Amino acid sequence: MVEKESQEYQYINIIKKIIDEGHWEEGRNGRTKSIFGESMRFSLQNGKIPIITVKKTAWKTCLKELLWFIKGETDNKLLQEQGVHIWDGNSSREFIESRGLGHYSEGILGTIYGYQWRYFNACYNYITGKPIPDENNKTGIDQLQQIIDALKDPKQRTSRRLVMTAWNPCQLDEMVLPPCHILCQFNVHDGNKLSCALYQRSVDEALGSSFNIASYSFLTHLLAKHCGLEAYEFVYFSGNCHLYENHIEPMKEIFNRIPFEFPTLEITNIKENINDYQVSDFIISNYQSHDVIKMKMVV
């Protein structure tokens, strides 16, 4: 275990601040206690990856979802086939109809995260979950590939425009759930050190935050490996940071737990295409954690 200098205490301190200083609000899906405007910084150097340890984090589930995003997929059945069920609540027939999307095929989630990363603003086939080519056979803007191309080019990799957004006002009503983590920016310094900053408008601190930290850290490590760079830092900016009412008591348990050291990540292969990476290409070493804190996800 580690002492007070652990970067994980940033997360613990935000939970404590919400409980001690947060404001009660009645929201779309229940009562929350919240604060507004926080940030955390996590080192990614020497293969470190910040997977939260004061409660067990399902990092393989997180990685499977990320690789699904990277491929631009929007069909929840592809996740279910891998044993991932984090989108089930937002893809139920009842929930889809509540969003006015009753015409969608079962399991189709709309123009969410990965779709905007790879096919930004392309017309959407709500039967297949795939983009519809326009009259020029184009399928929107491939933001992720543009960033990869820039990171591989020494003349472009220090650009201050390496931004990827999931927030597309033109298509929010075509999504089962508007994106929470909405914009990330990549930055290279000293020629080869890659960092990522994420802005998230809405953070479920009990269940979502640890996933988002791991996911974008995985993404930064992956892009660094894929583009011949070194992962350096993940910076996490949060807007509305909240705990649902029924999560507050369970989350108090983390105050009695001392964080373990963060694990390390090795990506064993460099693929030609970013779509070709698989979970088996990622090796996590020395992940120790405290027990799961069982809480029900609020949709």
123 is catalytic: no
Strand, coil or helix: 222: helix
Active-site residue (options: 180, 184, 227, 241): 180
Please tell me the chain's helix, strand, coil percentages from 3-state DSSP, rounded to the nearest 5.
35, 25, 40
Characterize the bridge pairing of strands 181-189 and 163-165.
antiparallel
Strand (E) or helix (H) holding 124: strand 123-125
DSSP label of 166: -
Contacts 24+ apart (CB under 8 A), 6-9: 6/259, 6/261, 7/40, 7/41, 7/42, 7/43, 7/50, 7/262, 8/50, 8/52, 8/53, 8/54, 8/259, 8/262, 9/259
* Orientation angle between helical segments 59-70 and 209-227, nearest 10 degrees: 60
Which residues participate in catalysis according to the annotation? Answer: 180
